[in-house]
Chain A
Amino acid sequence: MNSAYQGGWKRFTVLVRREFWEHRSLLWLPVAVCVLHFILALALVLVPRNGMNLQVEVRSEQLTVADSLGGTPGTQVESTSLNWNRMSTASLLDLAAATPPEERGGLLDRLLLGHAHLLAAVGSFLVMGLFSVMLNRERENRSSLFFLSMPLNPWTYLGGKMATGALALVLLWGTVVISQTLGLLVISATAWAHGHAAVDLVWGPSHVFRLWALLGAQLLVDTLWALPLFGSIALMASLGWSGRGGRFGVLLMGAVVATVVDRLYLTGGGLWLWMTRHLPPPGINWEDRGLDALRAAQGKAPALGEGADLVLGMVLGLLLLVAAARALHWREET
Protein backbone atom coordinates (compact mmCIF):
# COMPACT_ATOMS: atom_id res chain seq x y z
CA MET A 1 0.00 0.00 0.00
CA ASN A 2 0.95 3.63 -0.49
CA SER A 3 2.16 4.85 2.90
CA ALA A 4 1.97 8.49 1.80
CA TYR A 5 -1.66 8.16 0.73
CA GLN A 6 -3.98 9.81 3.22
CA GLY A 7 -7.12 10.07 1.13
CA GLY A 8 -9.70 12.75 1.89
CA TRP A 9 -8.29 16.21 2.27
CA LYS A 10 -4.78 15.28 1.13
CA ARG A 11 -6.16 13.81 -2.07
CA PHE A 12 -8.25 16.89 -2.61
CA THR A 13 -5.23 19.17 -2.30
CA VAL A 14 -3.38 17.10 -4.88
CA LEU A 15 -6.33 17.45 -7.25
CA VAL A 16 -6.29 21.21 -6.79
CA ARG A 17 -2.52 21.37 -7.24
CA ARG A 18 -2.90 19.39 -10.42
CA GLU A 19 -5.25 22.05 -11.82
CA PHE A 20 -2.78 24.79 -11.00
CA TRP A 21 0.03 22.79 -12.63
CA GLU A 22 -2.04 22.59 -15.78
CA HIS A 23 -3.53 26.07 -15.77
CA ARG A 24 -0.72 28.43 -14.91
CA SER A 25 -3.06 31.23 -15.89
CA LEU A 26 -4.96 30.64 -12.65
CA LEU A 27 -1.91 32.15 -10.96
CA TRP A 28 -0.98 34.92 -13.34
CA LEU A 29 -4.53 35.99 -14.13
CA PRO A 30 -5.18 37.49 -10.67
CA VAL A 31 -1.79 39.20 -10.78
CA ALA A 32 -2.53 40.62 -14.22
CA VAL A 33 -5.96 41.81 -13.07
CA CYS A 34 -4.36 43.30 -9.98
CA VAL A 35 -1.73 45.24 -11.91
CA LEU A 36 -4.26 46.43 -14.47
CA HIS A 37 -6.65 47.48 -11.76
CA PHE A 38 -3.98 49.34 -9.85
CA ILE A 39 -2.86 51.26 -12.92
CA LEU A 40 -6.38 52.13 -14.05
CA ALA A 41 -7.48 53.03 -10.54
CA LEU A 42 -4.62 55.48 -10.24
CA ALA A 43 -5.32 56.88 -13.67
CA LEU A 44 -8.97 57.33 -12.79
CA VAL A 45 -8.20 59.16 -9.60
CA LEU A 46 -5.11 61.15 -10.42
CA VAL A 47 -5.30 62.04 -14.08
CA PRO A 48 -7.33 65.15 -14.94
CA ARG A 49 -10.36 64.39 -17.05
CA ASN A 50 -13.38 66.02 -18.55
CA GLY A 51 -15.24 62.87 -19.48
CA MET A 52 -18.96 63.43 -19.70
CA ASN A 53 -19.89 59.94 -18.63
CA LEU A 54 -18.01 60.16 -15.39
CA GLN A 55 -19.46 63.55 -14.67
CA VAL A 56 -22.96 62.27 -15.19
CA GLU A 57 -22.33 59.25 -13.00
CA VAL A 58 -20.99 61.35 -10.16
CA ARG A 59 -23.84 63.74 -10.49
CA SER A 60 -26.32 60.93 -10.22
CA GLU A 61 -24.70 59.76 -7.00
CA GLN A 62 -24.83 63.23 -5.61
CA LEU A 63 -28.48 63.31 -6.38
CA THR A 64 -29.07 60.22 -4.32
CA VAL A 65 -26.91 61.42 -1.48
CA ALA A 66 -28.67 64.71 -1.48
CA ASP A 67 -31.97 62.93 -1.40
CA SER A 68 -30.88 60.75 1.48
CA LEU A 69 -29.71 63.70 3.51
CA GLY A 70 -33.22 65.01 3.51
CA GLY A 71 -32.51 68.11 1.51
CA THR A 72 -34.67 69.45 -1.25
CA PRO A 73 -33.59 67.39 -4.23
CA GLY A 74 -34.05 70.21 -6.73
CA THR A 75 -31.84 72.68 -4.89
CA GLN A 76 -29.18 70.11 -4.09
CA VAL A 77 -29.01 68.84 -7.58
CA GLU A 78 -28.63 72.30 -9.00
CA SER A 79 -25.80 73.31 -6.71
CA THR A 80 -24.10 69.96 -7.02
CA SER A 81 -24.46 70.05 -10.74
CA LEU A 82 -22.84 73.43 -10.92
CA ASN A 83 -20.15 72.21 -8.60
CA TRP A 84 -19.22 69.25 -10.79
CA ASN A 85 -19.41 71.22 -13.97
CA ARG A 86 -16.97 73.71 -12.56
CA MET A 87 -14.57 70.88 -11.70
CA SER A 88 -15.09 68.89 -14.83
CA THR A 89 -11.49 69.07 -15.98
CA ALA A 90 -10.03 68.17 -12.60
CA SER A 91 -8.97 64.77 -11.35
CA LEU A 92 -11.27 62.83 -9.08
CA LEU A 93 -8.96 63.68 -6.23
CA ASP A 94 -9.61 67.34 -6.77
CA LEU A 95 -13.31 66.72 -7.21
CA ALA A 96 -13.42 64.87 -3.93
CA ALA A 97 -11.43 67.56 -2.16
CA ALA A 98 -13.87 70.17 -3.39
CA THR A 99 -16.86 68.20 -2.15
CA PRO A 100 -18.31 69.23 1.22
CA PRO A 101 -17.14 66.82 3.96
CA GLU A 102 -20.64 65.58 4.75
CA GLU A 103 -21.08 64.48 1.14
CA ARG A 104 -17.56 63.31 0.62
CA GLY A 105 -17.40 60.11 2.63
CA GLY A 106 -17.40 56.99 0.57
CA LEU A 107 -17.21 58.87 -2.70
CA LEU A 108 -13.75 57.68 -3.59
CA ASP A 109 -14.20 54.16 -2.46
CA ARG A 110 -17.49 53.98 -4.31
CA LEU A 111 -15.81 55.15 -7.46
CA LEU A 112 -12.89 52.82 -7.00
CA LEU A 113 -15.15 49.93 -6.22
CA GLY A 114 -17.29 50.66 -9.24
CA HIS A 115 -14.14 50.67 -11.29
CA ALA A 116 -12.93 47.39 -9.77
CA HIS A 117 -16.28 45.88 -10.56
CA LEU A 118 -15.55 45.74 -14.27
CA LEU A 119 -12.19 44.07 -13.82
CA ALA A 120 -13.50 41.70 -11.23
CA ALA A 121 -16.30 40.69 -13.57
CA VAL A 122 -13.84 40.10 -16.40
CA GLY A 123 -11.65 38.09 -14.07
CA SER A 124 -14.43 35.91 -12.75
CA PHE A 125 -15.71 35.24 -16.27
CA LEU A 126 -12.23 34.23 -17.31
CA VAL A 127 -11.90 31.91 -14.34
CA MET A 128 -15.16 30.21 -15.19
CA GLY A 129 -14.21 30.03 -18.85
CA LEU A 130 -11.08 28.17 -17.89
CA PHE A 131 -13.18 25.26 -16.68
CA SER A 132 -14.35 24.51 -20.17
CA VAL A 133 -10.75 24.61 -21.31
CA MET A 134 -9.85 22.19 -18.51
CA LEU A 135 -12.34 19.63 -19.77
CA ASN A 136 -11.80 20.29 -23.42
CA ARG A 137 -8.02 20.12 -23.50
CA GLU A 138 -8.00 16.77 -21.80
CA ARG A 139 -10.32 15.42 -24.45
CA GLU A 140 -8.19 16.79 -27.23
CA ASN A 141 -4.87 15.37 -26.12
CA ARG A 142 -6.30 12.12 -24.77
CA SER A 143 -4.82 12.70 -21.34
CA SER A 144 -8.35 12.14 -20.02
CA LEU A 145 -7.61 8.44 -20.38
CA PHE A 146 -4.72 8.78 -17.97
CA PHE A 147 -6.78 10.63 -15.41
CA LEU A 148 -9.73 8.30 -15.88
CA SER A 149 -7.46 5.37 -15.06
CA MET A 150 -6.99 6.74 -11.55
CA PRO A 151 -9.27 5.41 -8.81
CA LEU A 152 -11.24 8.60 -8.38
CA ASN A 153 -14.91 9.08 -7.94
CA PRO A 154 -16.14 11.43 -10.71
CA TRP A 155 -17.62 13.70 -8.07
CA THR A 156 -14.28 13.95 -6.32
CA TYR A 157 -12.67 14.82 -9.63
CA LEU A 158 -15.30 17.44 -10.37
CA GLY A 159 -15.06 18.68 -6.79
CA GLY A 160 -11.34 19.25 -7.31
CA LYS A 161 -12.10 21.43 -10.31
CA MET A 162 -14.77 23.37 -8.47
CA ALA A 163 -12.47 23.88 -5.48
CA THR A 164 -9.81 25.14 -7.87
CA GLY A 165 -12.29 27.63 -9.27
CA ALA A 166 -13.19 28.79 -5.78
CA LEU A 167 -9.53 29.13 -4.87
CA ALA A 168 -8.86 31.05 -8.07
CA LEU A 169 -11.63 33.44 -7.15
CA VAL A 170 -10.18 33.91 -3.69
CA LEU A 171 -6.80 34.62 -5.26
CA LEU A 172 -8.43 37.07 -7.60
CA TRP A 173 -10.18 38.72 -4.72
CA GLY A 174 -7.00 38.86 -2.67
CA THR A 175 -4.95 40.47 -5.39
CA VAL A 176 -7.63 42.99 -6.31
CA VAL A 177 -8.04 43.86 -2.65
CA ILE A 178 -4.30 44.38 -2.38
CA SER A 179 -4.25 46.56 -5.46
CA GLN A 180 -7.27 48.48 -4.17
CA THR A 181 -5.57 49.13 -0.87
CA LEU A 182 -2.30 50.07 -2.50
CA GLY A 183 -4.19 52.42 -4.75
CA LEU A 184 -5.83 54.07 -1.79
CA LEU A 185 -2.46 54.40 -0.05
CA VAL A 186 -0.92 56.06 -3.07
CA ILE A 187 -3.92 58.37 -3.37
CA SER A 188 -3.63 59.20 0.31
CA ALA A 189 0.03 60.05 -0.13
CA THR A 190 -0.79 62.19 -3.15
CA ALA A 191 -3.60 63.94 -1.32
CA TRP A 192 -1.34 64.57 1.64
CA ALA A 193 1.37 65.93 -0.67
CA HIS A 194 -1.18 68.35 -2.12
CA GLY A 195 -2.14 69.58 1.32
CA HIS A 196 -5.44 67.70 1.65
CA ALA A 197 -6.54 65.81 4.75
CA ALA A 198 -5.82 62.34 3.42
CA VAL A 199 -7.56 60.36 6.13
CA ASP A 200 -10.69 62.42 5.91
CA LEU A 201 -10.65 62.47 2.14
CA VAL A 202 -9.79 58.91 1.29
CA TRP A 203 -10.39 56.64 4.24
CA GLY A 204 -13.17 58.16 6.24
CA PRO A 205 -15.87 57.67 7.05
CA SER A 206 -15.93 54.53 4.88
CA HIS A 207 -14.04 51.52 6.04
CA VAL A 208 -11.52 49.68 3.90
CA PHE A 209 -12.68 46.30 5.23
CA ARG A 210 -16.12 47.01 3.84
CA LEU A 211 -14.61 47.57 0.43
CA TRP A 212 -12.85 44.25 0.64
CA ALA A 213 -15.99 42.43 1.69
CA LEU A 214 -18.06 44.05 -1.03
CA LEU A 215 -15.45 43.18 -3.61
CA GLY A 216 -15.57 39.54 -2.48
CA ALA A 217 -19.35 39.53 -2.73
CA GLN A 218 -19.03 41.14 -6.14
CA LEU A 219 -16.75 38.39 -7.38
CA LEU A 220 -19.13 35.76 -6.11
CA VAL A 221 -22.12 37.26 -7.88
CA ASP A 222 -20.09 37.84 -11.03
CA THR A 223 -19.18 34.18 -11.00
CA LEU A 224 -22.83 33.27 -10.87
CA TRP A 225 -23.29 35.61 -13.79
CA ALA A 226 -20.68 33.60 -15.64
CA LEU A 227 -22.61 30.36 -15.22
CA PRO A 228 -24.69 30.66 -18.42
CA LEU A 229 -21.62 31.53 -20.44
CA PHE A 230 -19.64 28.68 -18.94
CA GLY A 231 -22.57 26.30 -19.42
CA SER A 232 -22.93 27.22 -23.07
CA ILE A 233 -19.21 26.76 -23.73
CA ALA A 234 -19.24 23.40 -21.95
CA LEU A 235 -22.25 22.35 -24.03
CA MET A 236 -20.57 23.37 -27.25
CA ALA A 237 -17.37 21.58 -26.27
CA SER A 238 -19.25 18.41 -25.44
CA LEU A 239 -21.11 18.55 -28.74
CA GLY A 240 -17.77 18.56 -30.51
CA TRP A 241 -17.83 22.16 -31.67
CA SER A 242 -14.41 22.72 -30.25
CA GLY A 243 -12.53 21.16 -33.14
CA ARG A 244 -10.48 23.22 -35.52
CA GLY A 245 -13.44 23.92 -37.78
CA GLY A 246 -15.74 24.59 -34.86
CA ARG A 247 -13.85 27.33 -33.11
CA PHE A 248 -15.60 29.96 -35.16
CA GLY A 249 -18.88 28.39 -34.08
CA VAL A 250 -17.80 28.63 -30.46
CA LEU A 251 -16.97 32.30 -30.87
CA LEU A 252 -20.22 32.96 -32.69
CA MET A 253 -22.27 31.13 -30.12
CA GLY A 254 -20.32 32.86 -27.38
CA ALA A 255 -21.30 36.21 -28.85
CA VAL A 256 -24.94 35.14 -29.17
CA VAL A 257 -25.04 33.84 -25.61
CA ALA A 258 -23.26 36.93 -24.33
CA THR A 259 -25.88 39.09 -26.04
CA VAL A 260 -28.72 37.06 -24.59
CA VAL A 261 -27.16 37.15 -21.14
CA ASP A 262 -26.58 40.85 -21.48
CA ARG A 263 -30.20 41.45 -22.40
CA LEU A 264 -31.39 39.10 -19.72
CA TYR A 265 -29.31 40.54 -16.92
CA LEU A 266 -28.64 44.08 -17.77
CA THR A 267 -32.15 45.15 -18.63
CA GLY A 268 -32.91 44.68 -14.93
CA GLY A 269 -30.18 47.23 -14.51
CA GLY A 270 -29.76 46.55 -10.90
CA LEU A 271 -27.79 43.48 -10.07
CA TRP A 272 -25.05 45.52 -8.49
CA LEU A 273 -27.64 47.39 -6.46
CA TRP A 274 -29.39 44.14 -5.67
CA MET A 275 -26.14 42.77 -4.34
CA THR A 276 -25.34 45.78 -2.20
CA ARG A 277 -28.76 45.39 -0.60
CA HIS A 278 -28.71 41.65 -0.16
CA LEU A 279 -25.10 40.81 0.53
CA PRO A 280 -24.09 43.17 3.30
CA PRO A 281 -20.82 42.19 4.89
CA PRO A 282 -21.47 41.06 8.47
CA GLY A 283 -20.93 43.57 11.21
CA ILE A 284 -21.31 46.62 8.99
CA ASN A 285 -23.56 49.42 10.10
CA TRP A 286 -25.55 50.44 7.06
CA GLU A 287 -26.74 53.65 8.59
CA ASP A 288 -23.36 55.36 8.50
CA ARG A 289 -22.68 58.42 6.45
CA GLY A 290 -21.26 58.57 2.96
CA LEU A 291 -21.64 55.37 1.02
CA ASP A 292 -23.86 54.01 3.77
CA ALA A 293 -26.13 56.99 3.48
CA LEU A 294 -26.27 56.34 -0.22
CA ARG A 295 -27.29 52.75 0.39
CA ALA A 296 -29.75 53.76 3.05
CA ALA A 297 -31.34 56.06 0.51
CA GLN A 298 -31.58 53.17 -1.91
CA GLY A 299 -32.74 50.86 0.79
CA LYS A 300 -36.19 50.37 -0.59
CA ALA A 301 -37.30 46.83 -1.30
CA PRO A 302 -35.59 45.55 -4.44
CA ALA A 303 -37.62 45.04 -7.56
CA LEU A 304 -38.51 41.40 -7.99
CA GLY A 305 -36.92 41.23 -11.41
CA GLU A 306 -33.47 42.12 -10.15
CA GLY A 307 -33.18 39.07 -7.92
CA ALA A 308 -35.05 36.89 -10.38
CA ASP A 309 -32.55 37.74 -13.12
CA LEU A 310 -29.77 36.24 -11.11
CA VAL A 311 -31.73 33.14 -10.19
CA LEU A 312 -32.90 32.71 -13.77
CA GLY A 313 -29.34 33.00 -15.04
CA MET A 314 -28.10 30.49 -12.50
CA VAL A 315 -30.81 28.03 -13.42
CA LEU A 316 -30.07 28.53 -17.11
CA GLY A 317 -26.36 28.00 -16.49
CA LEU A 318 -26.93 24.85 -14.45
CA LEU A 319 -29.30 23.48 -17.09
CA LEU A 320 -26.68 24.10 -19.75
CA LEU A 321 -24.10 22.29 -17.64
CA VAL A 322 -26.37 19.31 -17.15
CA ALA A 323 -27.07 19.31 -20.90
CA ALA A 324 -23.32 19.42 -21.54
CA ALA A 325 -22.74 16.40 -19.32
CA ARG A 326 -25.60 14.53 -21.03
CA ALA A 327 -24.30 15.43 -24.48
CA LEU A 328 -20.81 14.27 -23.58
CA HIS A 329 -22.15 10.99 -22.29
CA TRP A 330 -24.34 10.56 -25.37
CA ARG A 331 -21.40 11.15 -27.71
CA GLU A 332 -19.22 8.63 -25.92
CA GLU A 333 -21.90 6.00 -25.85
CA THR A 334 -22.93 6.39 -29.47
Chain B
Amino acid sequence: MKLTIIHPAVYVIYYLLLVILAFLYNDPYYMISFLICVSALIMLQGISREFKNVIQFFIPMSLLIIILNPLVAQVGTTRIYVLGSYFITLEALVYGILMSLSLLIILLLFASYNRAVSYQEMLYLFSKRFPHISMIIVMALRFIPLLSYRLTEVNKISRFNQENQGNQKIESRVDKIKKTAQMLAVVVSWSLEESMLTAKSMKARGYGIMKRTSYLSYKLRKIDYLFILVISATTLICTMGLANGFGRIEIYPTLHFSVHESMFNPYYFSFLILLLPLIYLEFKERLIWH
Protein backbone atom coordinates (compact mmCIF):
# COMPACT_ATOMS: atom_id res chain seq x y z
CA MET B 1 0.00 0.00 0.00
CA LYS B 2 1.40 3.30 -1.02
CA LEU B 3 0.51 6.64 0.46
CA THR B 4 1.77 8.78 -2.36
CA ILE B 5 0.36 7.52 -5.62
CA ILE B 6 2.18 8.70 -8.67
CA HIS B 7 0.88 8.30 -12.19
CA PRO B 8 2.64 5.36 -13.89
CA ALA B 9 3.43 7.43 -16.97
CA VAL B 10 5.49 9.76 -14.77
CA TYR B 11 7.44 6.78 -13.46
CA VAL B 12 8.12 5.55 -16.98
CA ILE B 13 9.40 8.95 -18.10
CA TYR B 14 11.55 9.31 -15.00
CA TYR B 15 13.21 5.91 -15.34
CA LEU B 16 13.73 6.41 -19.06
CA LEU B 17 15.52 9.71 -18.41
CA LEU B 18 17.68 8.10 -15.74
CA VAL B 19 18.69 5.23 -18.06
CA ILE B 20 19.67 7.64 -20.83
CA LEU B 21 21.68 9.76 -18.38
CA ALA B 22 23.39 6.66 -16.96
CA PHE B 23 24.42 5.82 -20.49
CA LEU B 24 25.75 9.32 -21.19
CA TYR B 25 27.71 10.09 -18.00
CA ASN B 26 31.18 8.71 -17.56
CA ASP B 27 32.73 10.86 -14.86
CA PRO B 28 33.61 8.60 -11.89
CA TYR B 29 32.19 11.09 -9.36
CA TYR B 30 28.85 11.22 -11.12
CA MET B 31 28.79 7.46 -11.64
CA ILE B 32 29.54 6.67 -8.02
CA SER B 33 26.94 9.08 -6.68
CA PHE B 34 24.49 7.61 -9.20
CA LEU B 35 25.31 4.08 -8.03
CA ILE B 36 24.92 5.02 -4.36
CA CYS B 37 21.55 6.67 -4.95
CA VAL B 38 20.20 3.78 -7.01
CA SER B 39 21.40 1.26 -4.42
CA ALA B 40 19.73 3.29 -1.67
CA LEU B 41 16.51 3.35 -3.70
CA ILE B 42 16.63 -0.42 -4.20
CA MET B 43 17.25 -1.01 -0.51
CA LEU B 44 14.31 1.19 0.39
CA GLN B 45 12.14 -0.68 -2.11
CA GLY B 46 13.25 -3.89 -0.43
CA ILE B 47 14.36 -6.11 -3.27
CA SER B 48 17.28 -8.28 -2.34
CA ARG B 49 16.31 -11.28 -4.48
CA GLU B 50 16.28 -9.21 -7.65
CA PHE B 51 19.57 -7.67 -6.61
CA LYS B 52 21.15 -11.13 -6.59
CA ASN B 53 19.74 -11.86 -10.05
CA VAL B 54 21.13 -8.59 -11.37
CA ILE B 55 24.58 -9.37 -10.01
CA GLN B 56 24.50 -12.84 -11.55
CA PHE B 57 23.67 -11.34 -14.90
CA PHE B 58 26.10 -8.47 -14.50
CA ILE B 59 29.34 -10.28 -13.65
CA PRO B 60 29.83 -12.20 -16.92
CA MET B 61 28.74 -9.22 -19.02
CA SER B 62 31.02 -6.77 -17.23
CA LEU B 63 33.95 -9.18 -17.45
CA LEU B 64 33.33 -9.47 -21.17
CA ILE B 65 33.22 -5.69 -21.54
CA ILE B 66 36.37 -5.11 -19.47
CA ILE B 67 38.34 -7.82 -21.29
CA LEU B 68 37.07 -7.17 -24.78
CA ASN B 69 37.34 -3.41 -24.81
CA PRO B 70 41.15 -3.13 -24.57
CA LEU B 71 41.55 -6.00 -27.01
CA VAL B 72 39.50 -4.47 -29.77
CA ALA B 73 40.16 -0.75 -29.26
CA GLN B 74 43.83 0.01 -29.51
CA VAL B 75 43.43 3.74 -29.40
CA GLY B 76 45.02 5.75 -26.65
CA THR B 77 48.49 6.96 -25.81
CA THR B 78 49.37 5.18 -22.58
CA ARG B 79 50.50 1.75 -23.58
CA ILE B 80 50.74 -1.22 -21.28
CA TYR B 81 52.76 -4.04 -22.76
CA VAL B 82 51.35 -7.45 -22.02
CA LEU B 83 53.12 -9.99 -24.19
CA GLY B 84 56.29 -8.89 -25.95
CA SER B 85 55.26 -6.26 -28.43
CA TYR B 86 51.52 -6.79 -27.96
CA PHE B 87 50.00 -3.95 -26.01
CA ILE B 88 46.73 -2.78 -24.60
CA THR B 89 46.07 0.83 -23.67
CA LEU B 90 45.23 2.20 -20.25
CA GLU B 91 42.52 4.38 -21.78
CA ALA B 92 40.64 1.43 -23.21
CA LEU B 93 40.86 -0.39 -19.89
CA VAL B 94 39.48 2.61 -18.00
CA TYR B 95 36.74 2.99 -20.58
CA GLY B 96 35.74 -0.64 -20.15
CA ILE B 97 35.57 -0.32 -16.36
CA LEU B 98 33.51 2.89 -16.51
CA MET B 99 31.17 1.38 -19.07
CA SER B 100 30.60 -1.73 -16.99
CA LEU B 101 29.80 0.57 -14.06
CA SER B 102 27.26 2.28 -16.27
CA LEU B 103 25.84 -1.14 -17.22
CA LEU B 104 25.47 -2.00 -13.53
CA ILE B 105 23.58 1.23 -12.91
CA ILE B 106 21.27 0.56 -15.86
CA LEU B 107 20.55 -3.00 -14.68
CA LEU B 108 19.78 -1.76 -11.17
CA LEU B 109 17.54 0.94 -12.59
CA PHE B 110 15.54 -1.65 -14.50
CA ALA B 111 15.28 -3.84 -11.39
CA SER B 112 13.97 -0.85 -9.48
CA TYR B 113 11.59 0.02 -12.32
CA ASN B 114 10.15 -3.49 -12.33
CA ARG B 115 9.47 -3.06 -8.65
CA ALA B 116 8.01 0.44 -8.84
CA VAL B 117 5.64 -0.07 -11.77
CA SER B 118 3.55 -3.22 -11.61
CA TYR B 119 2.44 -4.90 -14.81
CA GLN B 120 -1.16 -3.82 -14.24
CA GLU B 121 -0.04 -0.21 -14.26
CA MET B 122 1.97 -0.75 -17.41
CA LEU B 123 -0.97 -2.39 -19.12
CA TYR B 124 -3.12 0.54 -18.01
CA LEU B 125 -0.79 2.85 -19.92
CA PHE B 126 -0.86 0.50 -22.87
CA SER B 127 -4.57 -0.27 -23.02
CA LYS B 128 -5.67 3.19 -24.15
CA ARG B 129 -3.83 3.17 -27.45
CA PHE B 130 -3.49 -0.61 -27.89
CA PRO B 131 -6.60 -2.29 -26.49
CA HIS B 132 -6.22 -5.56 -28.43
CA ILE B 133 -2.50 -5.96 -27.74
CA SER B 134 -2.98 -5.37 -24.01
CA MET B 135 -5.85 -7.87 -24.04
CA ILE B 136 -3.52 -10.46 -25.60
CA ILE B 137 -0.89 -9.76 -22.93
CA VAL B 138 -3.42 -10.09 -20.09
CA MET B 139 -4.72 -13.35 -21.53
CA ALA B 140 -1.22 -14.75 -22.05
CA LEU B 141 -0.35 -13.91 -18.44
CA ARG B 142 -3.39 -15.85 -17.31
CA PHE B 143 -2.76 -18.79 -19.66
CA ILE B 144 0.76 -19.49 -18.40
CA PRO B 145 -0.24 -20.82 -14.94
CA LEU B 146 -3.18 -22.60 -16.56
CA LEU B 147 -0.89 -24.38 -19.01
CA SER B 148 1.55 -25.42 -16.31
CA TYR B 149 -1.38 -26.78 -14.26
CA ARG B 150 -2.55 -28.78 -17.26
CA LEU B 151 0.97 -30.09 -17.82
CA THR B 152 1.07 -31.49 -14.28
CA GLU B 153 -2.34 -33.10 -14.82
CA VAL B 154 -1.22 -34.81 -18.03
CA ASN B 155 1.99 -35.83 -16.30
CA LYS B 156 0.03 -37.48 -13.49
CA ILE B 157 -2.08 -39.48 -15.94
CA SER B 158 0.90 -40.62 -17.95
CA ARG B 159 2.71 -41.76 -14.80
CA PHE B 160 -0.40 -43.60 -13.67
CA ASN B 161 -0.63 -45.43 -17.00
CA GLN B 162 3.04 -46.30 -16.87
CA GLU B 163 2.80 -47.83 -13.42
CA ASN B 164 -0.26 -49.82 -14.35
CA GLN B 165 1.49 -51.34 -17.31
CA GLY B 166 4.51 -52.11 -15.15
CA ASN B 167 7.18 -51.71 -17.82
CA GLN B 168 8.89 -48.52 -16.71
CA LYS B 169 12.34 -50.06 -16.54
CA ILE B 170 13.06 -50.51 -20.22
CA GLU B 171 13.24 -46.85 -21.15
CA SER B 172 15.97 -45.09 -23.08
CA ARG B 173 16.62 -41.38 -23.25
CA VAL B 174 15.10 -41.01 -26.71
CA ASP B 175 11.88 -42.57 -25.42
CA LYS B 176 11.85 -40.09 -22.57
CA ILE B 177 12.23 -37.09 -24.86
CA LYS B 178 9.55 -38.45 -27.16
CA LYS B 179 7.24 -38.96 -24.22
CA THR B 180 7.80 -35.38 -23.02
CA ALA B 181 7.04 -34.03 -26.47
CA GLN B 182 3.94 -36.19 -26.62
CA MET B 183 2.77 -34.75 -23.32
CA LEU B 184 3.46 -31.20 -24.48
CA ALA B 185 1.52 -31.90 -27.65
CA VAL B 186 -1.44 -33.13 -25.59
CA VAL B 187 -1.36 -29.95 -23.51
CA VAL B 188 -1.03 -27.76 -26.61
CA SER B 189 -3.94 -29.32 -28.46
CA TRP B 190 -6.08 -29.35 -25.32
CA SER B 191 -5.35 -25.67 -24.65
CA LEU B 192 -5.90 -24.62 -28.25
CA GLU B 193 -9.32 -26.29 -28.30
CA GLU B 194 -10.24 -24.74 -24.96
CA SER B 195 -9.02 -21.32 -26.09
CA MET B 196 -11.42 -21.40 -29.02
CA LEU B 197 -14.22 -22.00 -26.52
CA THR B 198 -12.92 -19.00 -24.58
CA ALA B 199 -13.12 -16.95 -27.76
CA LYS B 200 -16.71 -18.04 -28.37
CA SER B 201 -17.60 -17.16 -24.80
CA MET B 202 -15.96 -13.74 -25.09
CA LYS B 203 -17.86 -13.05 -28.27
CA ALA B 204 -21.13 -14.13 -26.70
CA ARG B 205 -20.54 -11.68 -23.86
CA GLY B 206 -19.97 -8.90 -26.33
CA TYR B 207 -16.21 -8.38 -26.40
CA GLY B 208 -15.24 -5.64 -28.81
CA ILE B 209 -18.62 -3.96 -29.00
CA MET B 210 -17.84 -1.21 -26.52
CA LYS B 211 -14.59 0.59 -25.93
CA ARG B 212 -12.32 -1.26 -23.55
CA THR B 213 -12.11 0.14 -20.04
CA SER B 214 -9.46 -0.41 -17.42
CA TYR B 215 -9.75 -1.76 -13.92
CA LEU B 216 -7.26 0.77 -12.62
CA SER B 217 -7.68 4.46 -13.17
CA TYR B 218 -5.28 7.27 -12.58
CA LYS B 219 -5.48 11.00 -12.87
CA LEU B 220 -2.64 13.45 -13.09
CA ARG B 221 -2.67 15.26 -9.75
CA LYS B 222 -0.74 18.06 -8.13
CA ILE B 223 2.10 15.85 -6.97
CA ASP B 224 2.55 14.48 -10.50
CA TYR B 225 2.88 17.98 -11.94
CA LEU B 226 5.35 18.83 -9.19
CA PHE B 227 7.33 15.69 -9.95
CA ILE B 228 7.39 16.43 -13.68
CA LEU B 229 8.43 20.02 -13.00
CA VAL B 230 11.35 18.95 -10.80
CA ILE B 231 12.67 16.27 -13.13
CA SER B 232 12.29 18.30 -16.31
CA ALA B 233 14.06 21.33 -14.81
CA THR B 234 16.94 19.26 -13.42
CA THR B 235 17.26 17.20 -16.60
CA LEU B 236 17.47 20.38 -18.62
CA ILE B 237 20.29 21.66 -16.42
CA CYS B 238 22.05 18.28 -16.56
CA THR B 239 21.82 18.22 -20.35
CA MET B 240 23.29 21.71 -20.51
CA GLY B 241 26.08 20.53 -18.24
CA LEU B 242 26.71 17.53 -20.45
CA ALA B 243 26.89 19.77 -23.49
CA ASN B 244 29.56 21.81 -21.71
CA GLY B 245 31.49 18.72 -20.69
CA PHE B 246 30.42 18.44 -17.06
CA GLY B 247 29.88 14.83 -16.15
CA ARG B 248 32.05 13.46 -18.89
CA ILE B 249 35.77 12.97 -18.73
CA GLU B 250 37.94 12.84 -21.77
CA ILE B 251 39.31 9.33 -22.22
CA TYR B 252 40.50 9.09 -25.79
CA PRO B 253 43.16 9.80 -26.91
CA THR B 254 44.65 10.61 -23.49
CA LEU B 255 43.03 10.15 -20.12
CA HIS B 256 42.32 13.52 -18.48
CA PHE B 257 41.15 13.19 -14.94
CA SER B 258 42.26 15.02 -11.84
CA VAL B 259 41.01 14.31 -8.35
CA HIS B 260 41.00 17.93 -7.25
CA GLU B 261 38.74 19.19 -9.94
CA SER B 262 35.93 21.09 -8.30
CA MET B 263 32.73 19.10 -8.11
CA PHE B 264 30.73 21.90 -6.61
CA ASN B 265 29.04 23.29 -9.65
CA PRO B 266 25.30 23.75 -10.23
CA TYR B 267 25.21 20.92 -12.75
CA TYR B 268 26.31 18.36 -10.20
CA PHE B 269 23.78 19.58 -7.64
CA SER B 270 20.93 19.49 -10.11
CA PHE B 271 21.98 15.94 -10.99
CA LEU B 272 21.74 15.00 -7.32
CA ILE B 273 18.33 16.64 -7.05
CA LEU B 274 17.20 14.63 -10.07
CA LEU B 275 18.14 11.40 -8.28
CA LEU B 276 16.43 12.22 -5.01
CA PRO B 277 12.62 12.43 -5.47
CA LEU B 278 11.86 8.70 -5.46
CA ILE B 279 14.25 8.09 -2.60
CA TYR B 280 12.51 10.84 -0.67
CA LEU B 281 9.07 9.31 -1.34
CA GLU B 282 10.17 5.81 -0.35
CA PHE B 283 11.86 7.15 2.76
CA LYS B 284 8.76 9.07 3.77
CA GLU B 285 6.69 5.92 3.44
CA ARG B 286 9.15 4.00 5.60
CA LEU B 287 8.94 6.68 8.30
CA ILE B 288 5.16 6.70 8.31
CA TRP B 289 4.62 2.95 8.28
CA HIS B 290 7.28 1.82 10.71
Q: Do A and B come from one complex?
A: no
Chain A residues close to B by CB (< 8 Å) = none
